[in-house]
Amino acid sequence: MFHNDEQGVEDGVLKYLVCQTDVKSVVGGKMSGQGPFFMGIPDSVVSAERRLQMGDTVVVSKFEWKEGFERLSYDLNPVDSLRSWYVQGRINVQAVAIQVEVVRLVIGSFQPGFVTDLKRYRGGDFRSATVISAQMLRPQTIYSRQLTEISPGRIMLNQLLHIKLAKITSPQEWWMGENYILPLVTPFQKGNEIRAHAKSVVIGAKESLDSFCFPLNQFSVRLMGAAAAVQRSFEMDKLAKQTVNVQLVWQRPEVQPDEVQTNLKKAQRVSFEWLIVNKSAVADFLEAWEEDTPVEAKVARDSKAQCCAVGRVIGVSVSETVPGNFMVNVKMFLSYRAKKGYDRGWEDWESILDQRDSNLKPIPNYGGLPFREEAFELSVPSDIAEGQYPVSKILKTLMGMGEDGAEQRPTVRLSSNEIVVGKLNEDQRITHGLFLDDKSRVIFMQAPAGTGKSVSVAACIASVLKKDRDAAILAVSPLNVAVCELVKDTMESLSEKVPMLALFSGQGKGRYMDRIRPLGDNLLVEAVQRDGNVPSAEGNEPKKWSDNKTFKQYVDDFNTAPRRARERSTTAALLKQTKYRVYFMTLALAEELALDLGNVTYVLVDECGQATLSAVLSILTQFRSVKKILLTGDKQQLRVHLPSQMTVVRGKFGFESILEVLETAKGIDRTVLSKCYRSHSAIVKCLDAGVYSPAGDRLVPGRPDIEMSSFLNFMGPRIVAENCPIILIHQKSSAQMENISFSSHNPEQRETALGFLSLIQGTFTGLIQVVCFYQAERKHMVSEIERRRWPNVKVSTVDSIQSQEAELVLVITTRSAAGRSTEADTGKEFWADCARTTVALSRPKFGLVIIGDLSLIWHKGTVWRRFIDETLKMTVAVTPEYLNLISNPFPFRVGKFIAKRDGTVPMAFEFYAERDSTLRHESLACHPPTNNFVNNFSPSPFFTGGFMPFTTQANAFPPISSIHAQPPAFSHGMMIIDTSVCPPPINMIAGHTMPSNHPGPSARMAPYPPQHLPRTSYAEAAQQAPSNTNSNRRIDVKCYRCGKIGHFSKRCRT
């Protein structure tokens, strides 16, 4: 409790810091003197140039106590009769000032900022707003008092404002809460305040007449700094909301009493359980407490307590105890580490291990946001762009101020000793020539998947190192796996050893260690042991790398717990001793370590579609000697993950993909790669038809089929269609939502995938990549694969698979129309996104298997539709019955297709019927039938793709021969098949014509009869219609799900 007869901070005048504002008064927190700690200061007793705001200081000479508030409780929820010091967002005052003598006003200046939250009263009147700008420690809640030059009614959510900020320098240190500040020495605290040193608070606001524009002017650059502050606060608040007060479960070590304290200084394995009663909150909690998240701990419910331990999460599990209640179990490593100057650290550490409630908080990783925020707020990119630095022209171009047309392209001349360059194709050589000439350039290489962009980048690096002995190159990518490929290709391209350093994030080291370890001498762990020794100088003895605590800890962690190894601090320490000619790292690491890398002259950005404009500008701002920048990426693949950004800045203010600038800005040299060396020609043709040709680009095979037929040769007669390595399996089974999240999985589709994998396991030795669209599906597949111990099968979600490839890719789409209402299918599904679909379909080298509801993905996804239509020109869609056929090494075949022993192909007739029906309705919607059309054609036509009239002559069933297949003459011989049984394609039927917009023949290759749904086989159709006409056909209704006659499939109860 704090009463009037207690001593203050110091004797003397009663001095207050304005802590919170109200409509007609402010609240002051005592800095010195004897008197109440919280003082209400009405506007009527103050005479100043402006109204008091937070950060001002006031000397009070007279006051009167507020009855009933003389003593306040330190607790937010007091158990005694005292009132709390903080109630419903407002500070309770103990007394009211009657007379003030001295007032010191802080001076502020306007900066661009954003409104991130807005609250109004029930009647719609303004209540409060949360705003933030660059260099603010945290978002601040402001009231009508701070709206000095704008009407409260004009404040809107996500609005751009000019915010007046004042830096508080007296006192230099203080505490900052969400809507108040407190003097550094205070008996009252909530516990979530942040210690501030010479930081700013909001004292005014006005409406902004400027707006963000491109090309970037100085105001737009400053606005990008404010946007970085918004994102920083978003990351901070997101994790702060997941702070928990719990008792830790800890097993006391069985050691001698005198060894206990020594043991407690080591990392301790602890755990806790947390009950969540809201399913949507489970996903937020798991995202904040994911594996390897850094954590800090302190004593709970103690406003004076500070951090006493740090650690990391090693595992998280969730279980549903009762419907709607979820128990989360979190396992961690915690070790003692108290803040400097905090005397209670060891006492607190022992108490939280002894089952006292602890406050655990995930530590956010801001990456390069703080530097970006500071540099952009000071308009550093604009200043450098207007200067005479080598990077100035590059910055001007990326900021939209480039000149019309790019520089004249050089003539590519290859010397006889440039072996690596000689392996490049014509398109790659154009990029190589641009990168090696003497002019400052921004080069964008549009490179679809598998076109050799990493090889081209590696060739550029090797040639520059050979040409310019002083060159220092920074090669970055937003993706860890893309960095691996860059290092590997560069190692193969270099003819001599060059000092290189490859860095990876903790998550990358944990997930891709099998790719990282082969990089050998270029890894940081090897560089530390090779270059971390300090030679003797001026009488000092040499020091080994193991004598350096940072180096030794990193090497130990890399070998035992790679995720925990501290890449940033170790790299910074190593670069003080030595420099390298080529640096490979992720984009986030480059932004943080840029000042330690030295004089970089060339920058290369791979997978630039996932890099933001502000991140690239931030890196270039720190390297003023950069002569060229080469950016590679694919406009048709995934870009920046917008849901990870706060709504205010999502896809705006520099947080959009840099591809949007590269596609439109002037002065950029653009090249295009079109030869795909990764995939089989059939896959390349489908990708070109589904993705690149509609976008005005093209994709052509770069290798002959004989080199890419590994999967076809392995499958042999078990492949669905000859010479087509794509298998389409239509399975319309219902998806299920996971109990502990909103993600879905499909047990039947998963069983089909596992069945296919089990049939080829042990004999197919290449890498198999299972691609899932849902996290729940991935989790179940990982569990099944681990249980079966299939080492060559990897499982990933489509969002994490970009920049990877595999010999065989198996895609599970999960979602199905089964059990879904019509309304559920009206929205745009994320799995139908064109970029996400392109990534999933462009990973395979030799074979591709797609399992899912083909009708749904064909109907909802633009790329899916084009890709499947092109695939159906080479093969047919089958049902899961196909797996029964390939269990036999030598199944029957009908012509080029696999078949059952009765000669029927296990085609997915349901998919074809729905596909044709959709095409018919779409055609009717675009071209309504005329009266002649109605009179001339059948009243219930059924079409096989496109809008075509049904007639009894032109569209009669083609003749179907009986099957004459003999078993193989030898145990491993060829099957002799009468190829005449293959039904001719629809365009070969007499009198049949194709419209120009027809998507291609249906795989059935014959129209369905108008009276009923398609039958299960051609053989059955032939038996029921020996006359081979549609006239006088019996109207038999047969269910193609259960095989019984008398009901449709939608009425089937099987």
CB 853 within 8 A of CB 818: yes
Question: Taking the mean position of all CA atoms in its chain, how far away is CA 261?
Answer: 43
Phi, psi torsion values for 401, nearest 5 degrees: -110, 25
CB 729 within 8 A of CB 880: yes
3-state secondary structure of 1049: helix
The region that residue 370 occupies, defined by phi over 0 for left and psi between -120 and 50 for alpha, beta otherwise, is alpha
Q: Transcribe 440-503 into DSSP letters.
A: -EEEEEE--TTS-HHHHHHHHHHHHHHH-TT--EEEEESSHHHHHHHHHHHHHH-SS---EEE-
Q: What number of H helices and E strands is found in the chain?
A: 30, 43
Q: Which residues in the chain are classed under CATH 3.40.50.300?
A: 681-889
Q: Transcribe 202-217 into DSSP letters.
A: EEEEEE------SS--
Rounded Cα distance, 498 and 580, in Å: 8
pLDDT at residue 89 in the model: 93
Rounded Cα distance, 689 and 867, in Å: 6
Q: Which residues in the chain are classed under CATH 2.40.10?
A: 248-254+264-356
> How crowded is residue 264: how many other Cβ atoms within 10 Å of its Cβ?
17
Q: Tokens for 234, please give them.
A: 């978003």
Rounded Cα distance, 309 and 342, in Å: 12
Beta-sheet pairing, 173-176 with 194-197:
antiparallel
Q: Measuring CA to CA, which residue among 917, 895, 881 is closest to residue 1002?
A: 917
3-state secondary structure of 860: helix
Task: Please list the residues that pair with 60 across neighbouring strands.
Answer: 100
pLDDT at residue 934 in the model: 42
What residues in the chain have per-residue pLDDT under 70? 1-11, 255-258, 260, 405-419, 536-540, 819-828, 929-1054
Cα dihedral 649, 653, 654, 658 sign: positive
Q: Transcribe 897-955 into DSSP letters.
A: EE--TTS---B-HHHHHHHHHHHHHHHHHHS---HHHHHHS-SS---SSSS----TTTT
Residue whose structure tokens are 């030679």: 535
Beta-sheet pairing, 358-362 with 628-633:
unpaired
CB 10 within 8 A of CB 184: no
3-state secondary structure of 717: helix
Q: Which amino acid is at 1005?
A: M
Rounded Cα distance, 542 and 619, in Å: 35
779: enclosing H helix or E strand: helix 775-788
Helix 587-597, helix 613-622: angle, nearest 10: 10
Phi, psi torsion values for 517, nearest 5 degrees: -60, -40
Residue whose structure tokens are 């939608």: 1050
CB 667 within 8 A of CB 402: yes
> How crowded is residue 938: how many other Cβ atoms within 10 Å of its Cβ?
14
- Buried/exposed code over 842-859 (b: 16+ C-beta within 10 A; e: otherwise): bbbbbbbbbbbbbbbbbb
434: Cα within 13 Å, side-chain hemisphere: 26
Task: Please list the residues that pair with 1028 across neighbouring strands.
Answer: none
Q: Tokens for 32, please give them.
A: 């010195």
Q: State which fold the 248-254+264-356 domain adopts.
A: Thrombin, subunit H (2.40.10)
Burial of 983 (0-12, 13-18, 19+ CB in 10 A): buried
In this prediction the pTM is: 0.84
**Domain 681-889 grouped into CATH 3.40.50.10490:** no
Cα dihedral 767, 773, 775, 778 sign: negative
Phi, psi torsion values for 176, nearest 5 degrees: -120, 120
Q: Measuring CA to CA, which residue among 36, 39, 103 is closest to residue 71?
A: 36
Residue whose structure tokens are 């598998």: 450
Rounded Cα distance, 860 and 816, in Å: 11
Q: Transcribe 310-332 into DSSP letters.
A: EEEEEEEEEEEEETTEEEEEEEE
